[in-house]
Amino acid sequence: MKAALSQLIRSLNVRGWSPATSTNYSFIDEHQQIWVSKSGVNKADFTDSDFMTIDKDGIGTGMFHGVKPSDETQIHLWIYKHFTDAKVVLHSHSKFPVLISQFNEDYFPVQGYELQKGFKGCKSHLESLQIPIVDNQQDMQLLCAALDQRIQDIQHHCFIIAEHGTYAWGENLFEAQRHLETLDYLCECEFLR
């Protein structure tokens, strides 16, 4: 997992989805251990050794005791707590979801796109989907409280944080990447339209 996710992190950086050391990524391994990307690493150079282990409160464990992960680790933990099928969580600072959030409040509405079937469970381009948009917060307790309020609206393994970016997840890396890319593509199409 570490090698495959590191490679994905570098390739997303090439696409401009993680400028200036931003974004964070995590996965749960076969021993139910949560691994998260270390804070402050240039994602162009991200390697297997740039992950750290954390406990369920987001505190560094084992050889990473005393290492502080990104504050946004709390969002990863919120996703794992509430979506128990999630095993990989990806975060993006790509531009189109940020732009879309400037023209939509509360929801990003999607209908008519073949690619919306990239969301697990979506069978037709005719389905009307609504991707939640939550307000950005620097206080992660407030952000997680806002997510608590919207939990029923989160139906497609992703959400947008306004003028910030996206989170997407899946049962495995393949599915998490598909959800992240599906959302980004839909944001790009709607914004350019």
Distance of closest approach, residue 24 Cβ to Zn ion, in angstroms: 7
The closest residue (CB) to Zn ion is: 165
Phi, psi (degrees; rounded to nearest 5) at 13: -65, -40
60 vs 165 by CB, closer to Zn ion: 165
69 vs 165 by CB, closer to Zn ion: 165
User: What 3-state DSSP class applies to 163?
Assistant: coil
Neighbours of 49 (CB within 10 A): 10
* Part in contact with Zn ion (CB under 5 A); list of ranges 50-58, 81-89, 114-122, 158-166: 158-166
97 vs 165 by CB, closer to Zn ion: 165
Stretch (H or E) spanning 169 = strand 165-170
Is the CB of residue 131 less than 8 Å from the CB of residue 57? no
* Part in contact with Zn ion (CB under 5 A); list of ranges 10-18, 46-54, 139-147, 164-172: 164-172
138 vs 152 by CB, closer to Zn ion: 138
d(CA 175, CA 122) in angstroms, rounded, equals 13
Distance of closest approach, residue 65 Cβ to Zn ion, in angstroms: 25
Q: Binding string, 106-145, against Zn ion, x = CB under 5 A?
A: ----------------------------------------
User: What 3-state DSSP class applies to 126?
Assistant: coil
Question: How far is CA 170 from each of CA 54, 86, 180, rounded to the nearest angstrom?
Answer: 19, 5, 9
Residue ranges that bind Zn ion, judged by CB under 5 A: 165
